[in-house]
Chain A
Amino acid sequence: MSAVELEPTAEAGPARTARAAGAFGRLFRSELWLIFGRRRNWVGGLILASVPVLIAVVIKTSGAGEGDSFVFGQITDNGLFVALAALTVELPFFLPIAVSAIAGDAVAGEANLGTLRYLLVTPVDRARLLAVKLGGIAVFTFAAVAVVAGVGALIGLALFGAGDFVTLSGSSLGFWAGLARLALVCCYLTICLVALGAIGLFVSTMTEQPIAAGITVLVVTVVSQILDQLSQLAAIHRFLPTHYWLDYAAVLRDPVNLGDLGPGVASAAAYTAVFAAAAWARFSTADVSS
């Protein structure tokens, strides 16, 4: 049994707080470096970014189809809709894959590589390490969403220009108002996906196999989406982690009612809180031997 020490050595109050804050900052920076310095994560980002490029090029060459949904139909009038179309397409599967891979890797990856025990020897408070890991997942999630939206917006504007931003309600907004709506969609989707990341963080503390953890989260996502389609299970739909994801449509209506995003944000916050707490309960007492 080689459980490492759980608490850092006691120190005087303010000095300790300052040192802890500095240590937290260093740890967070190193975590971001770990995520964004990895070549495989860059490849993942490229795959995410390829979807909006594909959509834009296909629609540019062959035009919008007859049966296309509203978001796709608007692309030829306003390039920003490439970003929305890409987010809509990647939301059910591609974005969850990216988040599950990173979240599953968070703790299990370190354990798998054998770096976790060195990390804890430093010594680092385990709750703080988890907070850093969750923060890293959140930053990565936002980056993934922003890459899809950003690449989509850039190539869309380049190929189709910036016309009126037509809302689902049929009103037309200016370019900057449309861009603000797109940014709001990105923020909402980030909040939803971070909840998935928290589930992944919890699973990641249960195993030393990052792949297993990532796949588990992906399975949770897919099963949740399937259950959400079954009308017989309507009673439990609002408890499913993916149920409110498509509510970002509320941002595209006019007049906009941000209260419609409330249930989705509350659901995501609840999932994040429950699974971050569960990850803490598991990890803070786990035997770390690798």
Chain B
Amino acid sequence: MSGRAGFAHARSVRWLLPVAVAGAVIGTTLLAPAVAASVDLPDKTAEQLLTDLQGADVTAVQGTVVVDADLGLPSLPSVAGPHGSGLGVADLLDGTTTLRVWASHDGLRVAALGSLGETDVVTDGTQLWVWSSDDSTVTHVVPPTDAELAAARDALAAAHPGATGEDTPSVLDGAAATDPRAALANLTPDQLSTLVLAALEPTTQVTTGPATRVAGRPAYQLVLTPTDPGTLIASVTIAIDAAERVPTQLTVTSTVTGEPALTVGYTSVSFTAPDPSVFTFTPPAGATVTEPDLLSGAGKSGAGTGAGTGEDPASRATPQVVGEGWASVLVLSGSATDLAGAEAQAADSADPTLSALLTAMPQVSGDWGSGRLLTTNLLSVLLTDDGRTIVGAVDRATLEVAASSTR
């Protein structure tokens, strides 16, 4: 009797080994990130972090960036790329995209990794290559020479005497009124940080978050919380590498879900210069190479969709900003293509995502007219039937107010 009992005991004891191995594996996968996440950094104020950002001295970077988007787009029929390598637009907007990034003085390369597919953008500063493995196509862009640019500018000036270069509005407009650049150049990093905080003050609460780890490296967190009602952005969190003082992760949290709707950050990063050879590209044999002519608008491949859409700045939609701060709304009116045209064009085009998206957008109407509405966790888009496109990180009501006011 005792012998049998002993045998049964030996039997059950032996099962401890596989259980222990499984436990060790699961334990390391689940607990290791939690243990690694604990960081001990001296406290810093938001102002100190902003000053740190200006003191960053990073000239090169290489690493892996993961874009994790949960925009809550309306669910679409299968919109994976035609070859299913997971590099479609839809994956970038709703899903996880892995990018590999190299950057230094010598150039820039970004590779979007799909399963058995890859899209690369490569530039060494003098030319730009875009490679797509799914259809083995290469787009080669060489910037026009100065002479070509001057000729094009003259031609444009002759055609549209009124057209001039656009002024890009500075974030710090008003803070340094007269000559912003000269005034900013004389500021110390500390003063600039104070200035930035003061400029953000009316619309944004700037705080620090708990120290964290990004790509295994200790990082501080700067949290921007919009105080404007109407915006869909609950907060923007920027992780700043403690050692190199550069942002390594950006998280945008939505008021709709209360969860991060967009996270862009390094999962592994090194601040050493990559081998310059990664910035060169030679189209492989058998690839289709197109070289778009930047000055005439349409590419040599004939992919351009006809007259008037790309080449003539004056006929383009004039953007108009309604509202302030985080709740500001961009209104593109007088768009060349009306909604019906856009739908027809999308149905024609090879991109199934766009046409599926357009038909999935519900019809809405109000005192501003009628159109199609797209609401996501971060962004709302209203395409009115009279050809206006109204976009903002705001809720539907704010968009409709903007639609009424710009009618």
Hey, which bits of chain A sit against chain B, CB under 8 A? Answer: 67-71, 73-74, 76-77, 88, 163-164, 166, 168-172, 231, 238-239, 246, 249, 252-253, 255, 257, 259, 270, 273-275, 277-278, 280-281, 284-285
Contacts and interface: CB of A to CB of B under 8 A. Distances in A.
A274 B18 contact: yes
Interface in B239-253: none
A73 B136 contact: yes
A170 B133 contact: yes
A71 to B, nearest CB: 6
Interface stretch (B166-174, B209-217, B279-287, B365-373): B279-287
A170 B17 contact: no
Nearest to A252: B116
Given A68-B83, A285-B10, 9 more contacts: A69-B84, A70-B85, A70-B133, A166-B136, A168-B133, A249-B117, A255-B275, A270-B25, A277-B17
Interface residues of B, number: 42
A190 B7 CA distance: 37
Given A67-B82, A170-B120, A274-B18, A257 B285 contact: no
B192 interface: no
Nearest to B138: A170
Given A70-B136, A257-B100, A277-B17, A246 B25 contact: no
Interface in B1-41: 7, 10-11, 14-18, 21-22, 25, 29
A192 B134 CA distance: 26
Contacts of A280: 14, 17-18
B118 A285 contact: no
B197 interface: no
Contacts of B84: 69
B284 A277 contact: no
Given A69-B85, A70-B136, A77-B286, A281 B15 contact: yes
Interface in B294-310: none
Contacts of A69: 83-85, 116-117, 134
26 contacts: A67-B83, A69-B85, A70-B134, A73-B135, A163-B285, A166-B287, A168-B116, A168-B117, A169-B118, A170-B120, A170-B129, A170-B131, A170-B133, A170-B138, A171-B281, A172-B285, A239-B29, A253-B113, A253-B118, A255-B278, A273-B25, A278-B18, A280-B17, A280-B18, A281-B18, A285-B7
B186 interface: no
A70 B17 contact: no
Contacts of B15: 278, 281
Given A69-B85, A171-B282, A285-B7, A277 B117 contact: no
B282 A281 contact: no
Interface string B84-109: 11000000000100001000000000
Nearest to A71: B116
Q: Which 8 A-B pairs have the closest CB atoms?
A: A170-B131, A278-B18, A277-B18, A281-B14, A166-B284, A285-B11, A168-B118, A270-B25
Contacts of A259: 268
Contact of B284 (A170, A275, A278): A170
A17 B133 CA distance: 55
A68 B117 CA distance: 12
B82 A274 contact: no
A266 to B, nearest CB: 9
Contact of A171 (B10, B18, B83, B284): B284
A83 to B, nearest CB: 14
A65 to B, nearest CB: 11
Interface string B135-147: 1101000000000
B81 to A, nearest CB: 10
Contacts of A275: 18
A249 B84 CA distance: 14
B111 interface: yes
Given A172-B284, A253-B113, A277 B21 contact: yes
Contacts of B133: 70, 168-170
B390 to A, nearest CB: 31
Nearest to B283: A170
A274 B131 contact: no
Contacts of B134: 69-70
A71 B83 CA distance: 11
B14 A285 contact: yes
Contacts of B126: none
Given A253-B111, A281-B18, A70 B286 contact: no
A255 B281 CA distance: 12
A70 B117 contact: yes
Indicate the member of B14, B29, B134, B284 with the most A CB atoms within 10 Å. Answer: B284
A70 B83 contact: yes
Given A249-B115, A257-B100, A164 B284 contact: yes
Contacts of B136: 70, 73-74, 166
Nearest to B280: A171
A67 B84 CA distance: 11
A253 B109 CA distance: 14
A274 B100 contact: no
Contacts of A168: 116-118, 133
